[in-house]
Amino acid sequence: MNERDFSKLFRLDGRVALVAGAASGIGRAAAHGLAAAGATTVCADINEQGAAGTAHEIGGIAEALGLDITDQGSVDTAVQNICARHKRIDVLVSTPAVNVRKPLLRYTAEEFEKVLRLNLKGSFLIAQAVGRVMSEHKRGSIILLSSIRSLVVEPGQGAYAATKAGLVQLARAFAAELGGDGVRVNCIAPGVVETPLTEPIKRNPDWYNAYASKNALGRWATADEMAGPVVFLASDAASYVTGAVLFVDGGWTAIDGRFQPPV
Protein backbone atom coordinates (compact mmCIF):
# COMPACT_ATOMS: atom_id res chain seq x y z
CA MET A 1 0.00 0.00 0.00
CA ASN A 2 1.37 3.39 -1.02
CA GLU A 3 1.23 5.82 1.88
CA ARG A 4 -0.07 9.29 1.19
CA ASP A 5 1.36 12.48 2.58
CA PHE A 6 -1.86 13.56 4.24
CA SER A 7 -0.43 16.98 5.01
CA LYS A 8 -0.65 17.75 1.29
CA LEU A 9 -4.12 16.36 0.56
CA PHE A 10 -5.62 19.77 -0.08
CA ARG A 11 -2.58 21.34 -1.76
CA LEU A 12 -2.67 22.29 -5.45
CA ASP A 13 0.95 23.31 -5.90
CA GLY A 14 2.11 23.11 -9.51
CA ARG A 15 -1.42 22.84 -10.91
CA VAL A 16 -3.21 25.20 -13.26
CA ALA A 17 -6.81 26.18 -12.46
CA LEU A 18 -9.24 28.00 -14.71
CA VAL A 19 -12.12 29.79 -12.99
CA ALA A 20 -14.91 31.01 -15.28
CA GLY A 21 -16.91 33.78 -13.63
CA ALA A 22 -14.01 34.94 -11.47
CA ALA A 23 -14.93 38.63 -11.46
CA SER A 24 -17.40 38.35 -8.59
CA GLY A 25 -19.35 36.13 -6.23
CA ILE A 26 -18.59 32.43 -5.97
CA GLY A 27 -16.16 32.57 -8.88
CA ARG A 28 -14.06 35.23 -7.20
CA ALA A 29 -14.03 33.26 -3.93
CA ALA A 30 -13.10 30.06 -5.79
CA ALA A 31 -10.18 31.78 -7.48
CA HIS A 32 -8.87 33.03 -4.13
CA GLY A 33 -9.26 29.59 -2.57
CA LEU A 34 -7.51 27.73 -5.37
CA ALA A 35 -4.64 30.20 -5.42
CA ALA A 36 -4.24 29.96 -1.64
CA ALA A 37 -3.93 26.19 -2.05
CA GLY A 38 -1.05 26.75 -4.45
CA ALA A 39 -2.63 26.64 -7.90
CA THR A 40 -1.68 28.98 -10.70
CA THR A 41 -5.11 30.49 -11.17
CA VAL A 42 -6.50 31.90 -14.39
CA CYS A 43 -9.33 34.30 -13.55
CA ALA A 44 -11.69 34.44 -16.51
CA ASP A 45 -14.88 36.41 -17.02
CA ILE A 46 -16.88 38.20 -19.68
CA ASN A 47 -16.10 41.21 -17.46
CA GLU A 48 -12.36 41.18 -18.18
CA GLN A 49 -11.72 44.19 -15.97
CA GLY A 50 -13.40 42.43 -13.05
CA ALA A 51 -11.36 39.29 -13.71
CA ALA A 52 -8.19 41.40 -13.72
CA GLY A 53 -9.25 42.88 -10.40
CA THR A 54 -9.56 39.43 -8.86
CA ALA A 55 -6.18 38.40 -10.26
CA HIS A 56 -4.65 41.58 -8.84
CA GLU A 57 -6.12 40.82 -5.41
CA ILE A 58 -4.57 37.35 -5.49
CA GLY A 59 -1.18 38.46 -6.70
CA GLY A 60 1.74 36.62 -8.26
CA ILE A 61 0.31 33.26 -9.25
CA ALA A 62 -2.87 34.61 -10.80
CA GLU A 63 -3.63 35.99 -14.23
CA ALA A 64 -6.75 37.17 -16.04
CA LEU A 65 -8.43 36.86 -19.40
CA GLY A 66 -11.72 37.72 -21.05
CA LEU A 67 -14.05 34.79 -21.62
CA ASP A 68 -17.64 34.43 -22.81
CA ILE A 69 -18.52 30.80 -22.09
CA THR A 70 -21.58 31.01 -24.36
CA ASP A 71 -19.39 31.72 -27.39
CA GLN A 72 -17.58 28.73 -28.92
CA GLY A 73 -14.83 30.90 -30.39
CA SER A 74 -14.17 32.68 -27.11
CA VAL A 75 -13.99 29.37 -25.25
CA ASP A 76 -11.65 27.76 -27.78
CA THR A 77 -9.35 30.79 -27.86
CA ALA A 78 -9.15 30.98 -24.07
CA VAL A 79 -8.36 27.29 -23.68
CA GLN A 80 -5.76 27.42 -26.46
CA ASN A 81 -4.07 30.45 -24.88
CA ILE A 82 -3.92 28.82 -21.46
CA CYS A 83 -2.48 25.63 -22.91
CA ALA A 84 0.08 27.57 -24.94
CA ARG A 85 1.23 29.34 -21.79
CA HIS A 86 0.95 26.54 -19.20
CA LYS A 87 0.80 23.34 -21.31
CA ARG A 88 -2.22 22.03 -19.40
CA ILE A 89 -5.31 22.75 -17.31
CA ASP A 90 -5.71 20.73 -14.13
CA VAL A 91 -8.83 22.30 -12.63
CA LEU A 92 -11.90 23.96 -14.10
CA VAL A 93 -14.51 25.78 -12.02
CA SER A 94 -17.46 27.17 -13.98
CA THR A 95 -19.77 29.53 -12.07
CA PRO A 96 -21.59 31.92 -14.46
CA ALA A 97 -25.40 31.85 -14.22
CA VAL A 98 -28.42 34.04 -14.78
CA ASN A 99 -31.97 33.89 -13.42
CA VAL A 100 -35.15 35.49 -14.73
CA ARG A 101 -37.56 35.31 -11.79
CA LYS A 102 -41.11 35.01 -13.06
CA PRO A 103 -43.86 32.35 -13.39
CA LEU A 104 -43.38 29.98 -16.32
CA LEU A 105 -46.69 30.98 -17.89
CA ARG A 106 -45.35 34.52 -18.24
CA TYR A 107 -41.93 33.52 -19.60
CA THR A 108 -41.04 34.59 -23.11
CA ALA A 109 -39.11 32.32 -25.44
CA GLU A 110 -36.28 34.86 -25.40
CA GLU A 111 -36.08 34.80 -21.59
CA PHE A 112 -36.02 31.02 -21.52
CA GLU A 113 -33.27 31.00 -24.14
CA LYS A 114 -31.26 33.54 -22.11
CA VAL A 115 -31.27 31.33 -19.01
CA LEU A 116 -30.62 28.14 -20.96
CA ARG A 117 -27.84 29.67 -23.05
CA LEU A 118 -25.66 30.75 -20.14
CA ASN A 119 -26.49 28.25 -17.42
CA LEU A 120 -26.49 25.07 -19.50
CA LYS A 121 -24.99 25.70 -22.93
CA GLY A 122 -22.15 27.83 -21.55
CA SER A 123 -21.28 25.25 -18.92
CA PHE A 124 -21.31 22.55 -21.58
CA LEU A 125 -19.01 24.44 -23.93
CA ILE A 126 -16.35 25.22 -21.33
CA ALA A 127 -16.49 21.75 -19.76
CA GLN A 128 -16.22 20.12 -23.18
CA ALA A 129 -13.23 22.21 -24.25
CA VAL A 130 -11.33 21.77 -20.99
CA GLY A 131 -12.37 18.12 -20.75
CA ARG A 132 -10.61 17.45 -24.04
CA VAL A 133 -7.39 18.91 -22.67
CA MET A 134 -7.67 16.97 -19.41
CA SER A 135 -8.45 13.76 -21.27
CA GLU A 136 -5.22 14.09 -23.24
CA HIS A 137 -3.22 14.61 -20.03
CA LYS A 138 -5.05 11.81 -18.18
CA ARG A 139 -5.95 13.89 -15.16
CA GLY A 140 -8.09 16.79 -14.03
CA SER A 141 -11.04 18.00 -11.98
CA ILE A 142 -14.06 19.79 -13.44
CA ILE A 143 -16.43 21.51 -11.00
CA LEU A 144 -19.77 22.85 -12.21
CA LEU A 145 -21.98 25.06 -10.05
CA SER A 146 -25.49 23.66 -9.70
CA SER A 147 -27.90 24.71 -6.94
CA ILE A 148 -30.41 23.47 -4.40
CA ARG A 149 -32.86 24.34 -7.19
CA SER A 150 -31.71 21.18 -8.95
CA LEU A 151 -33.64 19.33 -6.24
CA VAL A 152 -36.26 21.72 -4.85
CA VAL A 153 -38.06 24.58 -6.57
CA GLU A 154 -40.41 27.45 -5.87
CA PRO A 155 -42.67 29.67 -8.02
CA GLY A 156 -40.66 31.93 -10.28
CA GLN A 157 -37.58 29.68 -10.42
CA GLY A 158 -38.70 27.10 -12.97
CA ALA A 159 -36.33 27.82 -15.85
CA TYR A 160 -33.37 28.36 -13.54
CA ALA A 161 -34.15 25.12 -11.69
CA ALA A 162 -34.40 23.20 -14.96
CA THR A 163 -30.93 24.34 -16.01
CA LYS A 164 -29.41 23.54 -12.62
CA ALA A 165 -30.94 20.05 -12.67
CA GLY A 166 -29.62 19.65 -16.21
CA LEU A 167 -26.13 20.58 -15.01
CA VAL A 168 -26.20 17.66 -12.58
CA GLN A 169 -26.90 15.17 -15.35
CA LEU A 170 -24.38 16.89 -17.60
CA ALA A 171 -21.70 16.51 -14.93
CA ARG A 172 -22.62 12.87 -14.37
CA ALA A 173 -22.38 12.16 -18.09
CA PHE A 174 -19.00 13.85 -18.31
CA ALA A 175 -17.89 11.88 -15.24
CA ALA A 176 -18.95 8.61 -16.84
CA GLU A 177 -17.26 9.39 -20.14
CA LEU A 178 -14.02 10.86 -18.80
CA GLY A 179 -13.44 8.68 -15.74
CA GLY A 180 -11.31 6.24 -17.70
CA ASP A 181 -8.97 9.10 -18.54
CA GLY A 182 -8.52 10.06 -14.89
CA VAL A 183 -10.75 13.13 -15.12
CA ARG A 184 -13.22 13.77 -12.29
CA VAL A 185 -16.38 15.82 -12.79
CA ASN A 186 -18.60 17.00 -9.95
CA CYS A 187 -21.20 19.60 -9.02
CA ILE A 188 -21.42 21.93 -6.08
CA ALA A 189 -25.00 22.82 -5.19
CA PRO A 190 -25.10 25.95 -3.01
CA GLY A 191 -28.09 27.12 -1.06
CA VAL A 192 -28.69 30.84 -0.59
CA VAL A 193 -25.43 32.74 -1.06
CA GLU A 194 -24.87 36.47 -0.94
CA THR A 195 -23.72 37.27 -4.48
CA PRO A 196 -24.61 39.83 -7.17
CA LEU A 197 -27.16 37.31 -8.51
CA THR A 198 -29.11 37.37 -5.23
CA GLU A 199 -28.79 41.11 -4.57
CA PRO A 200 -32.48 41.78 -5.38
CA ILE A 201 -33.49 39.42 -2.57
CA LYS A 202 -31.18 41.07 -0.07
CA ARG A 203 -32.96 44.36 -0.69
CA ASN A 204 -36.25 42.79 0.44
CA PRO A 205 -35.97 42.05 4.20
CA ASP A 206 -38.99 39.71 4.34
CA TRP A 207 -37.71 37.65 1.42
CA TYR A 208 -34.15 37.64 2.71
CA ASN A 209 -35.16 36.56 6.23
CA ALA A 210 -37.53 33.89 4.93
CA TYR A 211 -34.66 32.24 3.07
CA ALA A 212 -32.38 32.53 6.11
CA SER A 213 -34.94 30.76 8.28
CA LYS A 214 -35.42 27.94 5.76
CA ASN A 215 -32.07 26.24 6.40
CA ALA A 216 -30.72 24.54 9.52
CA LEU A 217 -28.07 27.18 10.20
CA GLY A 218 -30.58 30.02 10.02
CA ARG A 219 -28.50 32.29 7.82
CA TRP A 220 -27.27 32.94 4.31
CA ALA A 221 -23.84 31.79 3.17
CA THR A 222 -21.10 34.14 2.11
CA ALA A 223 -19.44 33.52 -1.23
CA ASP A 224 -16.19 32.77 0.61
CA GLU A 225 -17.82 29.73 2.21
CA MET A 226 -17.91 28.09 -1.23
CA ALA A 227 -14.12 28.21 -1.59
CA GLY A 228 -13.50 25.25 0.73
CA PRO A 229 -15.77 22.84 -1.17
CA VAL A 230 -14.17 23.97 -4.43
CA VAL A 231 -10.64 23.32 -3.14
CA PHE A 232 -11.75 19.94 -1.77
CA LEU A 233 -13.15 18.76 -5.11
CA ALA A 234 -10.15 20.15 -6.99
CA SER A 235 -7.61 18.44 -4.74
CA ASP A 236 -6.38 14.90 -4.12
CA ALA A 237 -8.57 14.85 -1.02
CA ALA A 238 -11.40 14.11 -3.48
CA SER A 239 -9.42 11.70 -5.66
CA TYR A 240 -12.20 9.07 -5.55
CA VAL A 241 -15.08 11.54 -5.88
CA THR A 242 -16.68 11.89 -9.30
CA GLY A 243 -20.21 12.18 -10.62
CA ALA A 244 -21.25 13.59 -7.25
CA VAL A 245 -23.33 16.55 -6.13
CA LEU A 246 -22.00 18.28 -3.02
CA PHE A 247 -24.81 20.27 -1.40
CA VAL A 248 -23.41 23.30 0.44
CA ASP A 249 -26.74 24.62 1.59
CA GLY A 250 -26.67 25.08 5.37
CA GLY A 251 -28.99 22.09 5.69
CA TRP A 252 -31.72 23.53 3.41
CA THR A 253 -32.40 20.19 1.69
CA ALA A 254 -32.07 18.21 4.91
CA ILE A 255 -34.84 19.72 6.99
CA ASP A 256 -38.63 19.73 6.70
CA GLY A 257 -39.87 23.21 7.52
CA ARG A 258 -39.12 25.36 10.53
CA PHE A 259 -41.67 24.09 13.06
CA GLN A 260 -40.00 22.74 16.19
CA PRO A 261 -42.03 19.71 17.36
CA PRO A 262 -42.55 19.27 21.13
CA VAL A 263 -40.29 16.24 21.46
The catalytic residue positions are 160
C-alpha to C-alpha distances, 113 to 70, 98, 163, nearest whole angstrom? 12, 11, 11
Which residues lie across from 245 on neighbouring strands? 187
Q: In three state form, how does the secondary structure of 82-146 look?
A: HHHHHCCCCEEEECCCCCCCCCHHHCCHHHHHHHHHHHHHHHHHHHHHHHHHHHHHCCEEEEEEC
171-209 residues labelled b (16+ CB within 10 A) or e (exposed)? bbebbeebeeeebbbbbbbbbbbbbebbeebeeeeeebe
CA of residue 18 relative to chain centroid, distance: 11
